[in-house]
Structure 1
Amino acid sequence: MAEVIGFVGMSHSPFASLLPPDRADGPGARFLADAERVRVAVDRLAPDAVVVIGPDHFHANFYDVMPPFMLGVEEVTGFGDYGSTAGRLPVAGNLAWSAHTSLTGAGFDLSLSYSLTVDHGIVQTYEMITGAVAVPLVPLVVNTAAPPLPSLDRCVALGHALGAALRDAEYPGRVLVAASGGLSHWLPTNDPRDVGVVGERRTALIHGRTDVRAFAVAREPRVRAMGGNPDARVNETWDAWFLDRLSAADAQSVAALDDDGLEENAGRGGHEVRCWLIGQVAVGQPLQWTSYEPVPEWITGMGIGTTFPVD
C-alpha cells in the first residue's frame, strides 16, 4: 500500500519566470523564498512519487474535446511555456493506473491519456517543490479555465475518492499530493459563447490542437502584456479566508460559494483553487503552514500551504 505523506498547495504564475524580483524585497521575492523553504521540507519527506493536480492553459485541451478531469498514465511531456521544463517527465505509471482503477470504481470517469502534454500549470509547482523533475509524477489535469467547469462539490467528492485510491494503491512508496493554481486573479474570458471572444482567438480556443505551437506563440504577447502592473486586481482578503478555510480542513465552505460566488471574490483565475480542494481533501489533513504574498505585478495572489511543518 502507498503511504500518503502530505499535501502542498502552491500558486503558479508565468511572471515568476518572466518578471522575477530584482531585489530582496521586490514583488514575488517572499513567495520564491518560501517556495524554496517548502522544497527543503519536501526533500526531507523524501517522496517516491508526487501526484500533481493542476490546470491546462490551452496547451493540451481545447474546445474540440474539453474533459473536466484528465489523468496521465504513461508518457507525459512538458510543453515548456514560460520557462517551465520542456520534454519528457518521469511518470509513476503503476500508481497512476492503480488510482485510475479505483477512481473508476468510485464512479469517476476520468479521461485517460497515454501521451499527455502538461504546461506550467502542472510543471511550475512540480519543479518548485521538488527542485528538479526527477521524482516520478502522476498528473491530474483539472479544467479550470473553460466553462462548463466541474462543480466545486464534484471536486471535493473527487478529493475524497482520490485519497482512498492513493491509500489503497498497490504502490510501495511514499506519495506527496501537490496542487498548483490560484489564488485570486482576474483573467479575460475563455468562453467561446462570450460575444467578446471572436475571430482568430475563438478559432484557436476550439481548433488550437491543429497547431498548438502557433497558438501559443500568438497568445504569449497577450499574456506578457498583463504583467508588471502594480495596480492589477488581487483580493488579499479572500485569499486569506481561503487559506484559513483549508487550515480548518473546511473545503466545504469554499465549495458552498458555487461558481458565481467564487468568481466574484477571486476572479476567473480563482477557479484554479479547485485543484487545492481536491488535494487537501485527498490528504485529509488541515494546512499546518501557510505563506502568502499579493503580487499584482504577477496578476495573482501567491499563496502556499502545506499539511506538514516548514522551517
Structure 2
Amino acid sequence: MTEIVGLVAISHSPFAQLLPPTGPTAPGARFLADAERVAAAVSELAPDAVIVIGPDHFHANFYDLMPPFVLGVEQATGFGDFGSRSGPLPVAEKLAWSIQERVTAAGFDLALSYALTVDHGIVQSYEMICGTADIPVVPLVVNTTAPPLPTMPRCIQLGRALGNAIRSADFAGRVLLIASGGLSHWLPSADPRDPDLDGERRAGVIHGGRDPHAFDAAREPRIRALGGDPHTQVNIEWDTWFLDRLRHADLASIAALAEDELERVAGRGGNEIRNWLIGAATAATPFVWTSYEPVPEWITGMGIGTTFPVDQPNSA
C-alpha cells in the first residue's frame, strides 16, 4: 500500500524568478519565505515520490490536439521557460503506471506521455517544495489555459479516483501531492475562437508545437511586459474565500461556480484552481495551514495551503 503523506497547493508565477524580492518586505518576500518553511516541513515528511498536478502554458500542448489531462509515465523534461529548470526530471515510473491502470479502471481515460515536456507550471512548484532533492515525480498536466476546460466537478471526481489509485498502488512508499497554480490573475485570451485574438497569436496557439522554442521566443516578451505593475488586478477577497473553503474541505461551494463567474472573479488564470481541487479531492483532508500574499507585481494572488502543520518563524 502507498501512503499519501500530505498535499501542498501552491501558486506559481514566472515573475517569482524574473522579479525576485529585493528585501524582506518587498513584494513576494513573504510568499517565498513561507514556501521555504513548507519545503522544510516536506523534508521532514521524507516522501519517496511526488505527484505534481499543474498546467501547461503552451509549451507542450497546443490546439492541434488539446487533451484535458496528461499523465507522464516515463520521461519528463523541463522546458526551461522564465528561468525554470530545463532538462530531465526523475520520474517515478512504477507509481505512474500503477496510477494509470487504476484511474483508467475507475473510468478516466487519461492521455499519457512517454516523453512529456513540462514548463514552469509544474517545475517551479516542484523545485520550491523539493529543492535539489530530485525526488522522483509523476507529472499530471491539466488543461487550465483555454476552453474546453475540464469542469470543476469532473476535476473533483478525478481527484477522488486518483486518491484511491495512489493508496492502492503497487508502490511501497510515501507520496507527497503538489497542486500548482492560481490564485486570481488576469491573463490575455488564448482561445482560438476569440475574435480579438490576432492571426499570429491564433496560429501560434494552434501550431506552436511545430517549433515550441520559436513560439516561446515570440510569446515570452509579451508575458514579461505584464510584470512589475503594483496596480495589476488581484482579487484578495476571492482568494481569501477560496482558501477558507479549502480549510473547511468545502469543495462543493467552489465547484458550484459557473465557469464565466470564476473568470469574472479570478481571471482566466484563476482557472488553475482546478489543480487545487484535484489535489484536495485526492488528499481527502482539509488544509490545516495556509499562507497568502497578493503580489500585483507578479500579476497573481500568491497562496499556499498544506494538509500538515508548518512551523512559523520563532516557533518551538
Q: Same fold (TM over 0.5)?
A: yes
Alpha-carbon distance between aligned partners in 2 of 1:38 and 1:27, rounded to the nearest angstrom: 19
In the TM superposition, structure 1's runs of 4+ consecutive aligned residues that sit over 4 Å from their partners are none
Equivalent in the alignment of 1:182 = 182
On the 8 A contact 1:151/1:258 being kept in 2, the answer is: no
Who is 1:194 aligned against? 194
Indicate if the aligned counterparts of 1:145 and 1:268 stay in contact, CA closer than 8 A.
yes
Question: 1: distance between equivalents of 2:107 and 2:147?
Answer: 22
Deviations 1:43-66 (A, max 9, x none): 000000000000000000000000
Q: 2 CA distance for matches of 1:286 and 1:18? A: 33
Instruction: Tell me the equivalent position of 1:303.
Output: 303
Q: How far apart are residue 261 of structure 1 and its match?
A: 1.6
Match of 2:262 in 1: 262
Q: Deviations over 1:65-120 (max 9, x none)?
A: 00000000001000011111100000000000000001100110000000000000
The answer to whether structure 1 residue 283 and structure 2 residue 283 are counterparts is: yes
Partner of 1:273: 273
State percent identity of aligned pairs: 67
- Using the alignment, how far apart are the partners of 2:258 and 2:47 within structure 1? 34
Match of 2:90 in 1: 90
- Find the aligned partners of 1:247 and 1:261 in 2 and give their Cα distance: 22
The within-5 A match list for 1:1-311 is 1-132=1-132, 134-311=134-311
1:258 Cα deviation from its structure 2 partner: 2.2
Cα shift readout 1:133-154 (whole Å, capped 9, x = no counterpart): 6100000000000211000010
Q: Normalising by the residue count of structure 2, what TM-score does the alignment of the two structures yield?
A: 0.98
Aligned length in residues: 311
Structure 1 SS opposite 2:206: helix
1:133–1:195 Cα change, 3 Å: farther
Instruction: Provide Cα deviations, 1:171-229, integer angstroms capped at 9, x if missing partner.
Output: 01000011000000000110000001121111110000111000000011000000000
CA contact (8 A) 1:89 1:133 kept: no
Match of 1:226, SS state, is: coil
Q: For the residues of structure 2 that align with 1:179 and 1:287, how far apart are their CA atoms?
A: 13
Q: Give the match's secondary structure for 1:59.
A: coil
| TM-score when normalising by structure 1 | 0.99
User: Residue 87 of structure 2 aligns to which amino acid in structure 1?
Assistant: G
- Measured in 1, the distance between the counterparts of 2:83 and 2:148 equals 29
Q: Deviations over 1:254-296 (max 9, x none)?
A: 0100211211110000000000000011010100000000000
Q: Measure, in 1, the Cα distance between the counterparts of 2:46 and 2:63.
A: 39
Counterparts of 1:85 and 1:120, CA distance in 2: 8
Contact 1:181/1:276 (<8 A) preserved: yes
Show structure 1 runs of 5+ residues with no match: none
Provide the rounded CA distance (Å) in 2 between the counterparts of 1:132 and 1:230. Answer: 32
**In structure 1, how many angstroms separate the alpha carbons of the residues matched to 2:135 and 2:270?**
28
Output the CA distance in 2 between the equivalents of 1:258 and 1:275. 17
| Counterpart amino acid of residue 173 in structure 1 | G
Shift of 1:123: 0.3
Residue 229 of structure 2 aligns with an amino acid whose one-letter code is N
CA contact (8 A) 1:292 1:301 kept: yes
SS in 1 for 2:74: strand
Stretches of structure 2 that go unaligned for 5 or more consecutive residues are 312-316
Give distance in 1, aligned partners of 2:23 and 2:134. 30
Separation in structure 1 between the aligned mates of residue 252 and residue 271 of structure 2, nearest angstrom: 15
